Amino acid sequence: MTARDMIKRDLQSKTLIIIKGGLFFLLGCLSAFVLLSSILSLRNVLMLGLTIWSFCRAYYFAFYVIEHYVDDSFHYSGLIDFAKHWINRVRK
């Protein structure tokens, strides 16, 4: 198996999936700390929280709501596929 084939495979190990999620959480906390450490104010903390919450809801909408409530025939593998589908749909 080549390195390219290994990159294309789906991650199936539950332990590695949990570690990956933890690393994303750690990266998010670290980047928020670095961002806020230079401009710490209640307003900036609230705005960063609102920004994160809004993007999380948009991501949930793009994958769960569209698939389960709007059109269950479409399954997306990422935001780029989601955007391509909606751009093609608007063009038609």
pLDDT mean values, one per 10 residues, the chain (92 residues):
65 86 92 87 90 90 77 74 81 79
What residue spans define the domains of the chain? Answer: 1-39, 41-92
Question: How many angstroms from the chain centroid is the CA of residue 62?
Answer: 10
pLDDT of residue 89: 79
Residues 6+ apart with CB under 8 A from 36: 44, 45, 48
Eight-state DSSP code of residue 14? H
Say if residue 8 is exposed, middle or buried (CB neighbours under 10 Å; 0-12, 13-18, 19+). Answer: exposed
pLDDT of residue 79: 76
**Token digits for 84?**
């391509």
